[in-house]
Amino acid sequence: MHNTMTRLRHQATRMFKPHLQIAAAFVLVSTSSLSAAIVTFDGVATSNLPYTEAGLTFTNLPGTSAAIVAGGADGFLTAGTNGLPIHVHVAGSQPFNLLSLDVENIFRTWQIQSSSGATFSPTAAGTINFTGMAGWTNLTSFDLIHDPGEANGTIRVDNISFTTVPEPSAVVLEGLGIGSLALGFRRRSRAK
């Protein structure tokens, strides 16, 4: 009886192992598209906008005060003005979910606005966690906006964390692959 159980266990392992390896590969592919990217502005030269890192492009809207990337070992995005409004537009190369960002310094009234219309008004330095807040998923962009009625507004932003949203076609292909695995397993099980 013991030999029979051992033999059946080995047969099951040989039969399931290829399917488990393929299923594990699908899981790795699908979860890799959800891994977080972080824009740190680190290790770059100080420059004016536009600036692109990790699939996000930062630009100044025309007619607004210029923001700059202060590079170096611990870089950051900084914006300030004495009179002009400030409006930094941050666009993704594909849809994304904004997870968090660090406001390292803030003076005066600022607003962060998502492409879906959600807004957040930071009032102090710290990490803003957008996870669980409505309106911060499946974005094409977000904006950092200073109230044009106030002079001398400044903000310093760093460590912008986001995940890209998988393309619908990739999700469909993953589903077809898993379905094919299940169908192949079912046919193989019936043949034996």
pTM: 0.72
| Binned average pLDDT, 10 residues per bin, the chain of 192 residues | 59 54 46 76 94 96 89 92 86 97 96 98 97 97 89 92 81 53 60 64
Neighbours of 153 (CB within 10 A): 22
What residues have CB less than 8 Å from 118, skipping those under 6 apart? Answer: 133, 134, 135, 136
**Token couple for 53:** 């890192």
E strand or H helix that includes residue 37 = strand 37-39
**Topology (CATH level 3) of domain 37-165:** Jelly Rolls (2.60.120)
pLDDT score at 163: 97
pLDDT score at 15: 55
How much is the CA Rg of the chain, to the nearest whole Å? 24
